[in-house]
């Protein structure tokens, strides 16, 4: 299982390196979207600090959604996905590997870039740390849930729109706890409860969502 898992992750990373434009599109969207908010609402530091966590999290969520249709779409079109499922390997391992590859390609750059844009919103050092930690715990949840949505809408017309309608409500808890952690730190409170809830969501998603994704993939290719 570990061999198949590593092979799928390495394959997706190699394909992303060859398709740099597609891989960079979510990051470019995140950078542009976050950068426009201070220009639109004005330079008032207090207002920027209050909205910083919500803006960064919402933009990160939308950026992650941009690349979800391609998570299984290309493999489905060229038959690679069917071969993976017919190989006898665990569907859980395949779905987990695809989600991890998506997070490494899309989620990790968002986590790295977030502190830089936190400075743009005049966040303090502890708030920047809280923002980074919340995204580090929350973005894998977005990739796992996004993989489930991509599997459920695989092969459907207008699947991208349906995917967003399915996945966005499921991502709301991560969004609430992620922004809540930063707000708590800004208010001088402990963010430990928010981190714990994000960690619990991550564990539950990691254990349950790949099974549902694997079942949806098998239904899609049959």
* Whether pLDDT at 6 is above 80: yes
What's the pLDDT at 213?
Answer: 92
Q: Given this model, what pLDDT does residue 210 score?
A: 93
pLDDT tens digits, 169-219:
899 999 999 999 998 998 888 889 999 999 999 999 999 999 999 998 888
Q: Is the pLDDT of residue 65 over 60?
A: yes
For residue 140, the model assigns a pLDDT of 94
Question: In the structure, what pLDDT confidence band is assigned to residue 2 with cuts at 50, 70 and 90?
Answer: low
pLDDT of residue 114: 83
Q: Where are the domains of the chain?
A: 2-221
- Percent of the chain whose pLDDT exceeds 70: 98
> Is the predicted pLDDT of residue 120 greater than 60, yes or no?
yes
Burial class (CB in 10 A: 0-12, 13-18, 19+), 13: middle
b/e map 146-176, b = 16+ CB within 10 Å: bbbbbbbbbeeeebbeebbebbeebbeebbe
pLDDT of residue 201: 94
Question: pTM to 2 decimals?
Answer: 0.89
d(CA 23, CA 64): 11
Q: If you search the block for the tokens 């980074």, which residue do you land on? A: 132
132-182 pLDDT, tens digit per residue, is: 999 999 999 999 999 998 888 887 776 677 888 888 889 999 999 999 999
- In this predicted model, what pLDDT tens digit does every residue of 41-50 receive, in sequence order? 777 778 778 8
């Amino acid at each position: 299982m570990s061999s198949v898992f590593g092979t799928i992750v390495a394959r997706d990373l190699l394909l992303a390196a060859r398709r740099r434009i597609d891989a960079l599109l979510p990051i470019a969207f995140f950078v542009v979207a976050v950068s426009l908010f201070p220009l639109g609402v004005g330079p008032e530091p207090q207002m920027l600090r209050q909205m910083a966590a919500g803006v960064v999290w919402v933009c990160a969520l939308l950026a992650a959604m941009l690349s979800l249709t391609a998570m299984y779409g290309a493999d489905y079109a060229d038959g690679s996905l069917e071969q993976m499922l017919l190989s006898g390997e665990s569907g859980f391992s395949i779905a987990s590997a695809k989600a991890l590859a998506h997070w490494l390609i899309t989620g990790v750059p968002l986590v790295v870039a977030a502190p830089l844009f936190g400075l743009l919103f005049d966040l303090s050092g502890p708030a920047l740390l809280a923002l980074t930690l919340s995204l580090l715990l929350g973005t894998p949840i977005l990739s796992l849930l996004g993989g489930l949505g991509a599997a459920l809408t695989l092969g459907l017309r207008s699947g991208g729109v349906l995917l967003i309608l399915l996945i966005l409500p499921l991502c709301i808890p991560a969004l609430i706890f992620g922004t809540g952690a930063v707000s708590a730190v800004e208010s001088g409170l402990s963010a430990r409860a928010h981190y714990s809830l994000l960690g619990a969501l991550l564990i539950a998603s990691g254990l349950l969502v790949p099974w549902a994704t694997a079942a949806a993939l098998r239904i899609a290719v049959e």
